[in-house]
């Protein structure tokens, strides 16, 4: 099932986020992946997924 990251994009665009297992809950964020992971470890024992939220949402359509 697809996740709705609309709010994630609005709040964290251009930043790294550490996401909980549900892939929606932000456990930590920062300008670097290391900073996001450090903040996540301060608040949770979970093993987060790291993702960089893009600064722009550009559509790309390719063809052959």
Q: What is the pLDDT of residue 1?
A: 66
Instruction: Supply the pTM of this predicted model.
Output: 0.80
What six digits make up the tokens of 5?
């990251």
> Where in the chain are the domains?
17-52
- Supply the mean pLDDT for the chain: 90
The candidate with the shortest Cα–Cα distance to 43, out of 61, 11, 63, 17, is 17
Convert the pLDDT of each residue in 19-39 to its tens digit. 999 999 999 999 999 999 999
């Amino acid at each position: 099932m697809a996740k709705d990251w609309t709010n994630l994009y609005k709040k964290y665009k251009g930043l790294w986020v550490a996401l909980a297992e549900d892939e929606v809950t932000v456990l930590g964020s920062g300008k670097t992946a290391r900073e996001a992971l450090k903040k996540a470890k301060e608040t949770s024992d979970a093993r987060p997924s790291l993702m960089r939220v893009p600064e722009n949402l550009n559509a790309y359509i390719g063809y052959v």
